Structure 1
């Protein structure tokens, strides 16, 4: 089976740091598929930038040193009324 275990932390309502461990993907080592590190910042009320690094743990690690991923999120429109916190997007 496959599953992701994730822990994220918010600092000063602006910065985010997180770790993810992805289970599955490895039939021989049993070590899981990957371990991910993520850092990000809420630049404005509408814009978020982040960067993550994926450390490969499965058999593909012999051919890959991991990967870097960029994250850009922009929310269109202005917020009206009470702010609703979505636990997925800090």
Structure 2
């Protein structure tokens, strides 16, 4: 047993790199489509890539789905409660052999923008 033997473990922090890109397409007066791609790299780990597609309806309701290459898929829904408060739900399911050991994960998330600047020229959607 690792703990009974009083062995020493040494861990090193690894540098992580993230690259994200996306665009918001105005499809109509009440619909925006937001595709995005996220690439993640860490020293000693394989490259990971995510692709997602979100729909923003009436600037209030967000529905979307994502796929993590050879790893998982997810779906999400969210609602803009006020100018500074957004709440949402997401479900994530493994596509690897880990799916035999869990039923996916459920997440409830809350985004609260403390300094809401209405004059912002390039709002951050990603």
TM-score, normalized by the shorter chain, greater than 0.5: yes
CA RMSD of aligned residues (A): 1.4
Per-residue CA distance 1:50-82 (angstroms, 9 max, x = gap): 100001111111101101011101011342534
SS at the partner of 1:61?
Answer: helix
Residues in 2 aligned to 1:62 and 1:41: alpha-carbon distance in whole angstroms: 32
Could you say if the C-alpha distance between residues 35 and 80 of structure 1 is closer, same or farther in structure 2, counting changes exceeding 3 Å? closer
Pick one of 47, 50, 61 that aligns with 1:4: 50
Which structure is higher in RCO with an 8 Å CA cutoff and minimum separation 6? 1
Cα offset, 1:83, TM superposition: 4.5
Q: Which stretches of structure 1, 4 residues or more, deviate above 3 A after TM superposition?
A: none
SS at the partner of 2:99?
Answer: helix
Per-residue CA distance 1:25-49 (angstroms, 9 max, x = gap): xxxxxxx211100000110000000
Normalising by structure 1, what TM-score?
0.80
User: Radius of gyration: which is bigger?
Assistant: 2
Whether 1:71 and 2:109 are equivalent positions in the alignment is yes
The answer for unaligned runs of 5 or more in structure 2 is: 1-46
